[in-house]
Amino acid sequence: MVAVLEKSTETKLRISGAEAVVRSLLAEEVDMIFGYPGGAVMPVYDALYGFQDQLKHVLTRHEQGAIHAAQGYARATGKVGVALATSGPGATNLITGIADAMIDSTPLVCITGQVGSHLLGSDAFQETDIISISMPVTKWNIQVTKPEELPEALARAFYIAKSGRPGPVLVDITKDAQFAEIDFNYRKCEQIRSYKPIPKLNLESVKKAAELINGSQKPFVLFGQGVILGKAEQEFKTFIEKAGIPSAWTLLGLSALPTDHPLNVGMLGMHGNYGPNRLTNECDVLIAVGMRFDDRVTGDLKRYAKQAKIIHLDIDPSEINKNVKVDVPVLGDCKESLSTLTSLINTNSHPEWLQQFHEHERIEQEQVIKPEMNPQSAELTMAETIQQINKVTNGEAILVTDVGQHQMVACRYTKFQKSKSNITSGGLGTMGFCLPAALGAKLGAPEREVVAVIGDGGFQMTIQELGTIFQTQAAVKIVVLNNNFLGMVRQWQQLFFDKRYSSTELMNPDFIKIAEGYGIKGKTISERKDLASSVKEMLEYDGSYLLEVCVGKEDNVFPMVPSGASVSEVRLS
C-alpha cells in the first residue's frame, strides 16, 4: 500500500524518532494515552516527559489494563484510543485487548517498543515477533526499523484505525529507530491506494430494499453498533419511525436508540428478550443494520429466519453472506444508506405486529421480571440492583460491564437516553475488561457519570487497576455483584451438567479492605433495606466508590437460548 499524505501540520524539525512519535500523536490531536514503560520503549517515554502539559499519559498497573482503558476511552468518546507498551511481555500483554477491539470494531493505535534492529530474530532479551502474533487480530500492523518511516507509518495507522469499519492497528518500533534523528514533517493520511474503507452505495440495492420493506406486513429491524460507529443514530430513528418497524438491538447496539422509544422492543440473543428472539422466526422481512449476525444472536443458523426476506446494511463487505445468506445487501456507510433508504420507503405503521412484541413482553414480565424484582425474596438479586441504579441515574450514565451473568442482567435492565452509553466486551467476551475500560471511559468523558458493574470473578482479573483509579483520581463508581461464583459457568453447570459445580465457586477476599488500601471508599450490603440508600450514597459521593452487593448464589439469568438451539426455543426458566 502507498499512502497519500496531505495537510502538513509541522515545519521540519531535527528530532529523535522517539520525539517524532510524540509529535505525531499531537498532530493527530491525541490528548491521552494509556501505557506501561519498559526498556525497549524507554526513549518514547523520555520524549513524553517534555510534553506532559499537552499529552496526558495514564500509567496503568498492567498492559492489559492499558489496552482496555484505551478501549473504554475510544468507546466513550468516539476518538482513537492509544496504548503504549514495551517489547516482549509488554507487547504480548496487549494481545487480548487488541483481539477484543478487533471483533468489537474499536479504533485503537497500539505502539510497542522493540529490540534494536540488529538484534531482530536473535531471541534477544524481551524480543517477541509481535507483528506475526498480532497479525490475525489487527486491522493492520507494521514494524518500523528506520526513523524516517515513523511519521508516515503513524499517519497511516490513525487513518486505518478510524476509517470504514474501525479497528486496532499496531506500530512496532525498534529501539534504534527511536534513538536516531530525522527531519520531522508530519502530514495526516487522507487516502491509501487500494484501500477503500467506504463502499460506494448501490442505488439499485437500496431500491430493492425499499420495495421489500414497502410490501412487508411483519418487518423487523435488528440494529448493532454500526449505527453508533457510523454516527447514524438520528438517521436510524427517522428510518424506523417513518416505516413503523419494531427494532431490537444487539449487545453492542444498545444505546443507539433510547430504551424507552416505542419501537424499541428489546435485546436480541442468547440472554435477550423473549419477543425479539421468538418473533425473529415470524417476521416476513428482516432488516439488519450495522450488525454481523453473531452466533449468540442467531442460535442455530439452519433454523434462523428461514421464512423472511433479509436485507443487510453494512460497511464491511466481508460480513455480507458470512453467516446468514441475505436477499438484498446494501453496502455503504449506514448514515448515507439509511438516509437514502428512508427517502424511498412509505410512511407506515404495523400496530398488530407491534402488539405481538408487547404480548411477549407481558409474558416475560410475568414469568421472569416480576420474580427477579420480588421484594419478598430472601436474597438480593442482580436485577433489582440494576433497577435501583437506573432510578438514580435516570438513564444518563455510561454503563460499563464485564462479562457474565451481571453483564446480561445489566444490559437487559439498564435504561439509556444517550448514545455511546453502553461499554462492554461483546464478541470476545473478555473477563477483566470492565474496571480498566470504566477508567478509560471516565477519563475520556469526565462530565458523565460512569458506573462499572462487575462480577466478583472478572473484578479480580484486573483488580490492580484500582491503583490507576487511585492515582488518576477518576471518580468511577464500581458495583461488584458478588455471588461467590463464576456465575455464568455455574448456571450452565446447573442447567446442563446436573449441578456439578466444577471449579466455579470462589473464596473471595475482603473487597472493601482492598479498595480502602487504594484510598477508595467502599461499602458492602447484603440486605434489600440497604440497597436504595447505598446506591444513592455511592452516586452522590465526590470521588471513586466501590459498592459490593452480595446477591443470590444461584441467581440465574433468563430468558435463555440454549447453545445450538433455535431462537424460537428461548427458555423463560
DSSP string, 528-573: GGGHHHHHHHHHHSSS-EEEEEE--TT----SB--TT-BGGG-B--
The dihedral sign for the CA sequence 429, 432, 438, 441: negative
Do residue 421 and residue 329 come from a single domain? no
Are 567 and 278 in contact by the 8 Å Cβ rule? The answer is: yes
For residue 11, the model assigns a pLDDT of 57
| CA 523/CA 538 separation, integer angstroms | 9
Do residue 515 and residue 397 come from a single domain? yes
Q: Is residue 557 part of a domain?
A: no
Q: Is residue 306 part of a domain?
A: yes
Please choose, from the candidates 532, 559, 563, the residue with its C-alpha nearest in 3D space to the C-alpha of residue 547: 532
Do residue 332 and residue 413 come from a single domain? no
Separation in Å, CA 31 to CA 152, 186, 419, 513: 20, 17, 22, 34
Q: Is residue 436 part of a domain?
A: yes
The mean pLDDT of 249-275, rounded to a whole number, is 97
Residue 5 has pLDDT above 80, yes or no: no
Q: Is residue 569 part of a domain?
A: no
| Side-chain half-sphere exposure of 245, counting CA atoms within 13 A | 35
What CATH number does residue 542 fall under? 3.40.50.970
Mean residue pLDDT of the chain comes to 96
pTM: 0.95
The mean pLDDT of 305-329, rounded to a whole number, is 97
What CATH number does residue 332 fall under? 3.40.50.1220
pLDDT digits (tens, 9 = 90+) for 223-256: 999 999 999 999 999 999 999 999 999 999 999 9
Do residue 32 and residue 169 come from a single domain? yes
- The domain boundary, picked from 134, 150, 184, lies at 184
The mean pLDDT of 274-290, rounded to a whole number, is 98
Do residue 500 and residue 533 come from a single domain? yes
Beta-bridged to residue 83, according to DSSP, are 34, 110
pLDDT digits (tens, 9 = 90+) for 365-386: 999 999 998 888 889 999 999 9
Q: Is residue 401 part of a domain?
A: yes
Do residue 434 and residue 545 come from a single domain? yes
Residue with cell 422481512: 285
The 10 Å CB-count burial string (b at 16+, else e) for 476-509 is bbbbbbbbbbbbbbbbebeeeeeeeeeebebeee
Do residue 15 and residue 53 come from a single domain? yes
Do residue 97 and residue 54 come from a single domain? yes
Are 457 and 486 in contact by the 8 Å Cβ rule? The answer is: yes
Active site amino acids: 63, 125-126, 175, 488
Beta-bridged to residue 285, according to DSSP, are 219, 309
Residue-range definition of the domain harbouring residue 313:
203-357
Do residue 42 and residue 169 come from a single domain? yes
Residue with cell 438479586: 381
Residue 302 has pLDDT above 60, yes or no: yes
Q: Count structural domains, the chain.
A: 3
Q: Is residue 197 part of a domain?
A: no
| Cis status of the peptide bond prior to 559, with omega within 30 of 0 | yes
Do residue 233 and residue 125 come from a single domain? no
